[in-house]
Structure 1
Amino acid sequence: MADVASRGGLVLAATPLGDPGDASARLVSALAGAEVIAAEDTRRLRALAAALGVTTTGKVVSFYEDVETSRLPKLLEALREGQTVLLVTDAGMPSVSDPGYRLVAACVAEDLPVTCLPGPSAVTTALALSGLPCDRFCFEGFAPRKTGEKAKWLAGLVDEPRTVVFFESPHRLAATLREAAEVLGGERRAAVCRELTKTYEEVRRGTLPELAGWAEDGVRGEITVVLAPAPPRSVRVADLVGEVADRVAAGERLKSAAAEVATATGVSKKELYDAVLAARRS
């Protein structure tokens, strides 16, 4: 890791989710050698460094959401001068639902060097522990807070064919799981992962109603939810003819409308196209 610190550039470093023992040797070296450390919470940074037995020698600056934009000019100036800027957040990988994206984008725009020290991630850790399919998944960040936005978001997951991972605050968890059960159905399975890698780590698995009932008693800590993919639906070509006809009536070309509906539902494009033509003739 010393070579990264010596050649300068932005270094994104994943930090432990809870257990300091998960810190990589490269992270330890980077903390000791970076000329500038941009930290989401400087107090947590110093606690982590103390737990790892590291003495930081570089300048430490705060880099949380409310000051992210205002801190960019000074950090970019340091990077242009060839300094090493180490970016760390409270836990996990910077820029993944944490500060960092704007700084990375600014570095890319100026062709400044950027590298990454891989490590802990609540997303992949929860996914692996969930017992749900891991071959295809999507990450949704934090669940929407507002009722209308949350309802729309959940509606978009009704037919989601991939496993879904998202974050939620403990005091909103029960309500989100209840609403998810109503929108997605009582048979949809999920896993709630709490306090990953920490002393009171807990993983609860079950249907959405079961998990909502468990969360009603109150939940504490950092929460990551893993939602099972939607079960495949059996769709008949004849049932989709009307949908294609409606889209054509709204101005779409028949061929493209039939292709999009077929792709979304998994039926044959040719069969659906031919069925629409047959319905027109009859």
Structure 2
Amino acid sequence: MNVSDATTWPASALDAAATAFAALTCEPAPLALDCTAFFSDAGLPQPVMPLPALRDWLLRHPRAYTARDEVWRELIRRARLDGPHWVVAAVGMALPALQQYAAQLCEGYDGDPADIDAEILTGFLTALRDRADLTKPAPYAGLCKAAWRAGRDLRLQRQEYLPVEDIEHVVPGPRTPRVPYGHPDLLVRRAVTLGILDPDDEQPYIDVRLGHRAIEPIAAANGVSVDALRMRLSRIDSRVAEALADGLLTGVASPETTVRLRQRAEQRGRLRAGRAAAARREAPRQHAAAAA
């Protein structure tokens, strides 16, 4: 089956996702998930399972919490790193829950049900791409919660507004502008200027800590492991917190403090360069050992 074989593309986003998932997982070569890394601990019947069979097994075993968590961590990783077909795969694996939410939220809804479907899918995809934290338990529950909230929020927008007879007499509340230097992006930029945060770490720090984006694609783009980037960001958190407590990011740093921070930044740069050089020297030996 090919997606192009469909004579009419479904109007509902969830129905369209079901069509795409069916095309991706049909015989003779359905997309499968390799569960070898966690097969023995999760209790799955096979180490490699076609996605429809895996979805059916998970539905029949609602208390298989370990298996569900491991499967969804792998699905989320693949959706973030291995291409659009794994995004379709993740949506298809969640379709039974997403379609159930849509049916519940559309009861008594006077708008277009396709709008609810689209919001549910958007909420799910946003969490899949950036919000789900793979270090926490139950990542699938977090994805479903985000999807349901998105659909619920759209439905709530359809509720009646409170009428106001004369808007000219409505007194607005105070709108005190924020202090410019309190904006997080500007604080991060000042941290880079002072040497508290290294220039190469500025964008990853903004993406993960301020943008709440998923860490896996960012680590891959920067050529480091997820654990290494997570540890690096944790150390930055400590330095930024110390600088905020000392007033360095919102006040004026003394020349002595500026020199000290720059020296520390240079030391970190030398250490990082040394580790990178050691890794380059080690890589040929690892390849040779693997070939042997």
TM-score band, normalised by shorter chain: under 0.3
Normalised TM-score (structure 1): 0.25
When you count strand as a share of all residues, which structure comes out higher?
1
Query: Which protein has greater RCO, CA pairs closer than 8 Å, 6+ apart?
Result: 1
When you count helix as a share of all residues, which structure comes out higher?
2
Normalised TM-score (structure 2): 0.24
